[in-house]
């Protein structure tokens, strides 16, 4: 499989670069610069390398550096922002701090003809975010782009297939960024574009069908996108050797448990549904501190999962719904070890599994959704809103009770229904209701009422590392508010959260 190495120097857009490459049907994987050697790069057979940006200066001794031999491998390299400066520094160029001011945001760039800029206009808008710049390019390089403040906004050495850009082609604000990346991948690296989700499904089914033949396999099914796609994919590969355990902790949204059960029984997948609502409510009684809620729910989930797994006898393989951002964010070089504990709360330490399988660990969330669509999963499951593991417990401020859960389920269902009625399901990346611990006076039926306050939350984001509050139409918010206060007697007030991340988080707890 042809692949591109995204060599990470601490840039905030490292995942976005990989996603943009994959959108061009070329597989990209991210490696921290300190976790892969030049020899390993050579042996891995990469078709190209992309140096990411980063917050440092190349002249700072503590900043990320790399072995200059990487430029002598004969593998095409594209340096972006800090990666552009680092390439110049390694090849003998000169870097300086901008004397006339830094460049941040949308910036007009004038380009000269070169393979990287094929079909790119002579002048266009790019996204800049830098203080340092390349003052003198290395010997053998020529300047191929300039701005009003940056004399070397891009450089290239066509003979060695080395290219650097000071701007960020991976962000949508760079008008022709996708074209530049496509030129690098296809014209410079010679990629054919064989990375598709149809190809992934076929290879995964063949791979696990052979590797797991005859092995009893267990998957903890949450009903979320990742575990659901993993379940259907593995079922195609190994059939009845897969058993899914769905722990319904009573903290799901309205109708969700039944929907999950009906969906997977419809696929003929062996499914054990454990209705453990009271068990979780008993453990959570009187608990108000968010982190303690999370720990109790995580631990109890494992205890229930263990109880069911023991009834099945010897299980050879545990399946986890790990996806690529989990791998990146969970210790970088040690991700496999960390994730084997993170996803199932320590289960591999206390049960005798021979191996752990993570069939989706190479995919981003949008690719997981694409696989789910190709496997025939229903739209409402494939596009299911991101949902925290502790469920509604972290969307109820204060103590968890059955009454509060049922109240929040109704309010959340109304909000989601109004979003769907307005055709905005994919216009915002996550939306939900929160039951606050605030009560306020209201008027219902010409009488005084004293009820709960519901907060509505919707955010727009590329990666959930940062998020903007979604500017939902007032009409949608008005209908949701009117229905929630009208249909749920104990709610007297609805508010809308207009805080972005940062300073807030997406969830309230």
Annotated catalytic residues are 81, 168, 170
Residue closest to 81 by CA, chosen among 25, 29, 138, 153 = 153
For residues 191 and 127, give the distance between their C-alpha atoms in angstroms, rounded to a whole number. 26
Q: Running DSSP on this structure, what letter comes out for residue 101?
A: -
For residues 415 and 419, give the distance between their C-alpha atoms in angstroms, rounded to a whole number. 6
Local structure of 3: helix, strand or coil: strand
Q: Which two tokens stand for residue 290?
A: 């968010």
Report how far apart, in Å, the C-alpha atoms of 34 and of each of 9, 51, 173, 500 are: 9, 13, 30, 33
142-146 and 103-111 as β-strands: parallel, antiparallel, unpaired? Answer: antiparallel
Q: Which two tokens stand for residue 169?
A: 């082609």
Residue closest to 91 by CA, chosen among 35, 160, 189 = 160
Beta bridge partners of 107: 126
Q: Count Cβ neighbours within 10 Å for each residue of 323-333 and write b for 16 or more, e otherwise.
A: bbbbbbebeee
8 Å CB contact between 432 and 425: no
Q: Running DSSP on this structure, what letter comes out for residue 79?
A: E
Longest dimension (CA), the chain: 83
Residue where the block lists tokens 């031999």? 69
Helical H runs in 152-224? 177-182, 197-211
For residues 237 and 205, give the distance between their C-alpha atoms in angstroms, rounded to a whole number. 5
Output Rg (C-alpha) for the chain, integer angstroms: 26
DSSP codes of every residue in 125-146: EEEEEESEEEEEPPTT-EEEEE
For residues 173 and 289, give the distance between their C-alpha atoms in angstroms, rounded to a whole number. 41
Pairs from 350-356 (Cβ < 8 Å, separation ≥ 24): 350/306, 351/306, 351/309, 351/315, 351/318, 352/314, 352/315, 353/218, 353/315, 353/316, 353/317, 353/318, 354/215, 354/316, 354/317, 355/316, 355/317, 355/318, 356/317, 356/318, 356/319, 356/320
Beta bridge partners of 433: 456
Q: Which two tokens stand for residue 299?
A: 């631990």
For residues 288 and 300, give the distance between their C-alpha atoms in angstroms, rounded to a whole number. 17
8 Å CB contact between 352 and 309: no
For residues 363 and 346, give the distance between their C-alpha atoms in angstroms, rounded to a whole number. 23
């Amino acid at each position: 499989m042809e692949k591109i190495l995204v060599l990470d120097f601490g840039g905030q857009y490292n995942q976005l670069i990989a996603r943009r490459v994959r959108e061009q049907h070329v597989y990209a994987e991210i490696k921290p610069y300190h976790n892969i050697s030049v020899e390993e790069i050579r042996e891995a057979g990469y078709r190209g390398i992309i140096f990411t940006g980063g917050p440092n200066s190349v002249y700072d001794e503590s900043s990320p550096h790399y072995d200059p031999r990487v430029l002598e491998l004969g593998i095409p390299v594209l340096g972006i922002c800090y990666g552009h400066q680092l390439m110049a520094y390694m090849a003998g160029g000169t870097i300086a701090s901008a004397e006339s001011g830094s460049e941040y945001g949308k910036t007009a760039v004038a380009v000269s003809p070169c393979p990287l800029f094929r079909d790119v206009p002579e002048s266009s808008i790019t996204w800049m975010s830098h203080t340092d710049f390349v003052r003198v390019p290395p010997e053998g390089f020529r300047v191929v782009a300039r701005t009003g403040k940056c004399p070397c906004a891009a450089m290239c050495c066509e003979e060695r297939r080395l290219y650097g850009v000071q701007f960020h082609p991976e962000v949508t604000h760079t008008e022709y960024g996708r074209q530049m990346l496509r030129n690098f991948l296809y014209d410079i690296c010679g990629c054919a574009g064989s990375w598709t989700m149809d190809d992934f499904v076929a290879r995964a089914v063949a791979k696990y069908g052979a590797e797991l033949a005859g092995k009893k396999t267990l998957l903890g099914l949450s009903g979320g996108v990742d575990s659901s796609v993993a379940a259907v994919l593995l079922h195609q590969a190994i059939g009845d050797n897969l058993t899914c355990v769905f722990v319904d902790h009573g903290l799901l949204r309205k109708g969700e448990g039944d929907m999950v059960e009906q969906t997977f029984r419809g696929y003929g997948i062996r499914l054990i549904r454990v209705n453990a609502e009271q068990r979780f409510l008993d453990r959570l009684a009187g608990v108000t501190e968010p982190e303690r809620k999370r720990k109790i729910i995580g631990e109890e989930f494992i205890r229930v999962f263990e109880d069911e797994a023991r009834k099945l006898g010897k299980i050879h393989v545990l399946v986890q719904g790990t996806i690529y951002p989990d791998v990146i964010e969970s210790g970088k070089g040690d991700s496999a070890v960390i994730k084997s504990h993170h996803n199932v709360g320590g289960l591999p330490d206390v049960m005798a599994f021979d191996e752990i399988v993570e069939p989706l660990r190479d995919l981003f969330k949008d690719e997981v959704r694409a696989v789910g669509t190709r496997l025939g999963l229903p739209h409402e499951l494939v596009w299911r809103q991101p949902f925290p593991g502790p469920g509604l417990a972290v969307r109820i401020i204060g103590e968890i009770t059955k009454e509060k859960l049922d109240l929040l389920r109704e309010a959340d269902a109304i909000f989601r229904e109004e979003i769907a009625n307005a055709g905005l399901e994919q216009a915002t990346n996550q939306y939900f209701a929160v039951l606050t611990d605030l009560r306020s006076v209201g008027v219902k039926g010409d009488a005084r009422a004293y009820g709960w306050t519901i907060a509505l939350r919707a955010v727009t984001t590329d990666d959930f590392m940062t998020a903007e509050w979604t500017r939902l139409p007032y009409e949608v918010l008005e209908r949701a508010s009117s229905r929630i206060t009208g249909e749920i007697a104990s709610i007297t007030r609805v508010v809308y959260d207009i805080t972005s991340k940062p300073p807030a988080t997406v969830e309230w707890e």
